[in-house]
Chain A
Amino acid sequence: MSKPLLEVKGLTKAFGGVIAVSEVDFHLNEGEIVAVIGPNGAGKTTLFNMITGVLPPTSGQVFFDGKEVTGNQPYQIAKAGITRTFQNLQVFENMSVIENVMTGVHCRLKTGFLQAGLRLMGVKREEQQAFDVAMSCLEKVGIADLAFEAAEVLPYGNQRLLEIARASASSPKLILLDEPMAGLNPQESRQLVDIIKKKREEGMSFLFVEHDMETVMGISDRIVVIDYGKKIAEGTPAEIYENEKVIAAYLGTEEEEEAI
């Protein structure tokens, strides 16, 4: 494999005296699907928030596409080519479905206040461009027929698909999915797995946090396991499956898993 697309070095986050993430290193190559797993409260979402710029790391570095992006603002990270979805859905409920996705195209367009207000040349073209891109993103996740519905009336599963369409609208190199399967029924989960695989064929990479082990084992190229903020294992699904530490920390608590 070539140079990694995403490289995380010694990433640490302390909230006062509590160390949520401690010295985590891992990388993700272009075109890979990597899962981050770990028991609840292990620091997975904090890790995501540091990579996407929502939280500044206490120490450590994040490199993306050969450049350091540590401590950048989320909108800068998005521009660099990393977008994300959210564990607790964050669709724009005050917009239609297609507008949600058109907003996702934001950083690929240029129209500013004055140009838009005066409707100068180029605005109309950009609008059509945003619309076309958004429509094709909706088609890829299979909800193009709902394009003109208000986003807030969509059922939960479709809102998840909408978030993925929105996150992919700017053609990012990497999409971070925070528990994408949570709340989906088995059929919707399979649909989502297909979408992720298809997008990977188009060259997108994915880093995701997930509790559903079937999905994790099924689609990940590699898995990073975190417990109490520390990386305890990394490897292919088969390796992780065999790993004693992981079994002890995570897979061993099968009943807890069922409850989630």
Chain B
Amino acid sequence: MNHSKVSELYNRHYGGLFLFIAALVIVPFVANSFLLSVLILVGLYGIVTTGLTMLMGYAGQISLGHAAFYGIGAYASAVMTGTYGMPGIVGILVGVAFAGTVAVLIGIPTLKLKENYLALATLGFGIIIFTFFKELKEITGGLNGFFGIPSFNLFGFAFDTDLKFYFLIWALLIVGILFSKNIIDSRVGRALRSIHGSDVAANSIGVNIQQYKLKVFVLSAVYASVAGSLYAHYVTFINPNLFTAMESITFLIMVVIGGSANIWGGMIGAIVYVLLNELLKEVVPMFFPNVGGEFQIVFFGILLVAILIYMPQGLAPTLGKVWRRLAGRKNKKAAVTGPPNADATVGGSKS
């Protein structure tokens, strides 16, 4: 093999992606309305977890506060469109500006911290924002929630059915994933990963690690905020309990299940989590009629531990191998090289 081109390094073939998109287009026409609503939820979570994968999987910075950014987006859209009657896009932009600013203000002090300390600091931040949602009653409606958020409207086109919304969300998710993948396969992505690999070494070769950590934190906050905005439009009613620390932990679980060092991992984690969650809701009462939602938490807790022990790279690399085998590719270097090629879960067919 002639390794003279950078294209040998990063998989930038899109055959698999087109197949995936084709599947996405077909699915809603064969799915029932329940499955469609589940897939919309998957897409929304996928947007959040894709941003979070950049932060956690690549840059190695943990966050237990992303439900706050998700909530900021949701409330920004609720207030802008619900209270002030502004167009949906204004709500999204206000959310993004707000979440981005908060991320900068929170990120500057907390991103100096490492690992467990950073996790605790972001957890605390999430609780503070949750309290704001709860207590700023005039704006947010407090614990009673915010009612009557209009459906999303973009330049006169109303996303007023589940089908339209499904396409909006998944198109956005794909764009979000491609944007992230482009970043990862570049100077910026290597800088982020170098921080994860060894922050002293990264610093010593010219990577401004504080700046990169902050920027990727802001980027992940923006992803979460956009998803939150659209979530608000989709469910039309929100309350603070949707944006608790538990929700942040749920995002984290999705990222770990999917594979935190894989750009498709966030989406895969969201699919697996949401589908399993729905399945548990159906199955568990059949065997244990008296248990409530607590059971799911226990189940996912165990799953999280099991994945961390037996599959620390998450599901994505395994699925990537399966895909390559299906696509008939000789899986030569992918097995040894790991992350750079493993993120070809969907993105690779030609060789």
- Contact surface of A with B, Cβ cutoff 8 Å: 52, 54, 73-75, 78-79, 83-84, 86, 90-96, 98-99, 102-107, 109-113, 116-119, 123, 126-128, 130-131, 135, 147-150, 153, 163, 166-167, 169-170
In whole Å, how far is B349's beta carbon from the nearest beta carbon of chain A? 20
Complex Cα gap A66–B6 (Å): 37
Contact status B200-A90, CB under 8 Å: yes
* B205 part of interface (Cβ distance < 8 Å): yes
In whole Å, how far is B104's beta carbon from the nearest beta carbon of chain A? 14
* B8 part of interface (Cβ distance < 8 Å): yes
Contact status A106-B198, CB under 8 Å: no
**Contact partners of B6 in chain A: CB under 8 A:** 127-128, 130-131
**Contact partners of A150 in chain B: CB under 8 A:** 336-338
Contact status A113-B340, CB under 8 Å: no
**Contact partners of A95 in chain B: CB under 8 A:** 190, 193-194, 197, 339-340
Name B265-298 residues within 8 Å CB distance of A. none
Contact status A149-B336, CB under 8 Å: yes
- The answer to whether A75 and B194 touch (CB under 8 A), given A127-B6, A149-B336, A150-B338, is no
Q: Which of A73, A78, A127 sits near B186, CB closer than 8 Å? A: A127
Contact status A103-B207, CB under 8 Å: yes
In whole Å, how far is B21's beta carbon from the nearest beta carbon of chain A? 18
Complex Cα gap A169–B205 (Å): 9
Name B185-225 residues within 8 Å CB distance of A. 185-191, 193-194, 196-198, 200-209, 215, 219
Contact status B193-A94, CB under 8 Å: yes
- The answer to whether A92 and B3 touch (CB under 8 A), given A52-B204, A75-B209, A117-B180, is no
Contact status A148-B8, CB under 8 Å: yes
- The answer to whether A148 and B197 touch (CB under 8 A), given A96-B340, A113-B219, is no
**Contact partners of B198 in chain A: CB under 8 A:** 90-93
Which A-chain residue is minimally distant from B176 (CB atoms)? A117
A-B pairs with beta carbons under 8 Å apart, 21 shown: A52-B204, A79-B206, A83-B206, A86-B201, A91-B201, A92-B201, A95-B339, A95-B340, A103-B190, A103-B202, A103-B205, A109-B187, A116-B187, A127-B185, A127-B187, A128-B5, A128-B6, A130-B187, A150-B336, A167-B205, A170-B206
Name B317-345 residues within 8 Å CB distance of A. 333, 336-340
Complex Cα gap A94–B193 (Å): 7
Contact status A74-B204, CB under 8 Å: yes
Complex Cα gap A154–B333 (Å): 15
Contact status A112-B204, CB under 8 Å: no
In whole Å, how far is B112's beta carbon from the nearest beta carbon of chain A? 13
In whole Å, how far is A90's beta carbon from the nearest beta carbon of chain B? 4
In whole Å, how far is A73's beta carbon from the nearest beta carbon of chain B? 7
Complex Cα gap A1–B211 (Å): 39
* B155 part of interface (Cβ distance < 8 Å): no
The 9 A-B residue pairs whose C-beta atoms are closest, nearest first, are A92-B197, A107-B206, A78-B206, A90-B201, A116-B186, A131-B6, A74-B203, A90-B198, A117-B179
**Contact partners of B209 in chain A: CB under 8 A:** 75
Complex Cα gap A55–B215 (Å): 25
**Contact partners of A54 in chain B: CB under 8 A:** 200, 203-204
Contact status B197-A93, CB under 8 Å: yes
Chain A CB within 10 Å, residue with most, of B187, B189, B261: B187
Name B100-154 residues within 8 Å CB distance of A. none
* B19 part of interface (Cβ distance < 8 Å): no
Contact status B9-A131, CB under 8 Å: yes
Contact status A148-B333, CB under 8 Å: yes
- The answer to whether A118 and B337 touch (CB under 8 A), given A78-B204, A86-B201, A113-B219, is no
In whole Å, how far is B211's beta carbon from the nearest beta carbon of chain A? 9
**Contact partners of A131 in chain B: CB under 8 A:** 5-6, 9
- The answer to whether A94 and B206 touch (CB under 8 A), given A103-B190, A113-B219, A148-B9, is no
